[in-house]
Amino acid sequence: MNAAPEEITSLVGREVYSNNGVFVGEIEDVRLDLDAQAVTGLALAELNHELFAGRVGGNTGVILPYRWVRAVGDVVLVNDIIERLDTGSDESEAETEVEV
């Protein structure tokens, strides 16, 4: 069963949650690789301040790698690695993956 393709702009404004149900942020924009014609990242704003406390400095958003996306529907689900930023597990990997 093939789903009809969606416009990239339809992602803007959708809320992003971890697969454990923790609110991460809201999609403000997407990062594209024009040569590969693929989405490579999600630019998030309206962040969960508790989740990103002390990690984004004065910045108001982050870019999550699109490979972290597990599902796209009414909301976008991402791997729970984003939650591990706060706990310290996989910290070195997470710090290099989340751009601020």
Q: pLDDT, tens digit, for every residue of 41-88?
A: 999 988 887 877 766 666 678 888 999 999 998 999 998 766 666 555
Count of C-beta atoms within a 10 Å radius of residue 56: 16
Q: What is the pTM of this model?
A: 0.72
Ordered DSSP codes for 27-86: EEEEEEETTTTEEEEEEEES--HHHHTTTSTT-S-EEEEGGGEEEESSSEEE-GGGTHHH
pLDDT of the residue at 41: 93
Comparison of pLDDT for 77 and 100, the residue scoring more: 77
pLDDT of the residue at 85: 60
- The yes-or-no verdict on residue 27 having pLDDT over 90 is yes
- The yes-or-no verdict on residue 24 having pLDDT over 80 is yes
Average pLDDT along the chain:
77
Helix (H) or strand (E) holding 23: strand 23-33
